Amino acid sequence: MEIAVVKNALGSLDKVLSQAKQALWEIEREEFVDPGFGDPGGYEYPRKALAGFLEELHDLLLVVLEAAGLPETRASLASGWTAFIGQGLDQTNCDPEAQYCDNPALTFLERLIRGLRMTLSEAISSEEAWTLSRLEAMLRDTPGLVHRRQMAPANEAELQKIMHDYLSACFPDFRLNPPIGGALKNFKPDCGIASVGAAIEFKIVHTEEQMAVAFSGVAEDTAGYRGSKDWTRFYAVIYQAQPFMLESQLRSDLKRIGAATWTPIVVNGPTKSEGKKGSRNKKSV
């Protein structure tokens, strides 16, 4: 496999993947949220947008897999895609009870991209690989998990509380605020999974102006957590009210400051203003 090809392509793949997820989220809002409530989103026809992004992602992957020297994976993608075309790329499976929608084609492509990313990691055990895969899947599912609580988070503490509950139930070695020793002070990430040395930071962004503040917080964390022997993998989860930033943008900035051990995860979901109590699922604008 040509590792350099995959590394260079992941940013573009993640950008289109993020756009497809945003379209799916807007479909979910159409299904379960009062149309007169909150921001309707950026796509006039989100199902058409979703289908278009999936087609683009599929075409990009065909080129990347060929250039990377992965003919079997490319053939698997091509054969599996026929079924999705027959079903309709905008098809969604919606769960009224959980108020959650998924798209089979999007899930298929996301897993393929996740597999490509894992091939770039250092050799790890199958158990560690499963744990990391499960952890990343849950972090990327943050909007859906938050949605099941039927309460949009107003601040990082509320977001953390929701995700800590899910992560602690899934991982027996979940740690809350694990200390990372420094020369002058100890640093404490939001939480971590001890068996794979993965520390996690959650940030919430209500407005476009708060993007720089969120990144500054992550940049400070990257400096404070560097050099730990126990915690060697780090995740920055940015939960934003609207798609103010793309995951590929955050990844580029982390690479620029030398944060090679950090994995950015940017997701979109409803937030609530801290000053307005009791307003359910109201997006900040």
What is the share, in percent, of the chain residues with pLDDT greater than 90?
41
Look at residue 123 and tell me whether its pLDDT is greater than 70. no
279/77: higher pLDDT? 77
pLDDT confidence tier of residue 33, bands split at 50, 70 and 90? low
Look at residue 202 and tell me whether its pLDDT is greater than 70. yes
107 and 11 in a common domain: yes
272 and 144 in a common domain: yes
115 and 16 in a common domain: yes
Mean of pLDDT over the chain: 84
**Residue type at position 243:** P
6/164: higher pLDDT? 164
- pLDDT at position 125 is 62
125/255: higher pLDDT? 255
167 and 213 in a common domain: yes
261 and 141 in a common domain: yes
- Evaluate whether residue 126 is within a structural domain: no
Look at residue 281 and tell me whether its pLDDT is greater than 70. no
- pLDDT at position 29 is 80
Last residue of a domain, one of 101, 120, 139: 120
- Give how many domains the chain has, as a whole number: 2
Domain with residue 205: its CATH number is 3.40.1350
101 and 18 in a common domain: yes
Look at residue 211 and tell me whether its pLDDT is greater than 80. yes
157 and 98 in a common domain: no
Report pLDDT digits (tens) over 229-277.
Answer: 889 899 999 999 988 888 888 888 888 888 878 999 999 999 987 654 4
- Evaluate whether residue 243 is within a structural domain: yes
Q: Mean pLDDT across the stretch 32-51? A: 72
272 and 141 in a common domain: yes
**Which of 10-19, 28-37, 73-82, 119-128 has the highest mean predicted lDDT (pLDDT)?**
73-82
pTM listed for this prediction: 0.60
Look at residue 278 and tell me whether its pLDDT is greater than 50. no
Exposed, middle or buried, 3 (CB in 10 Å: 0-12/13-18/19+)? Answer: exposed
266 and 151 in a common domain: yes
Between helices 3-32 and 104-118, what is the axis angle to 10°? 150
Domain that holds residue 258: 131-285
- Evaluate whether residue 77 is within a structural domain: yes
- Evaluate whether residue 231 is within a structural domain: yes
- Evaluate whether residue 125 is within a structural domain: no
144 and 90 in a common domain: no
127/38: higher pLDDT? 127
Look at residue 153 and tell me whether its pLDDT is greater than 90. yes
Q: Mean pLDDT across the stretch 71-97? A: 88
Last residue of a domain, one of 63, 94, 120: 120
Q: Which residue is associated with the tokens 């107003």?
A: 154
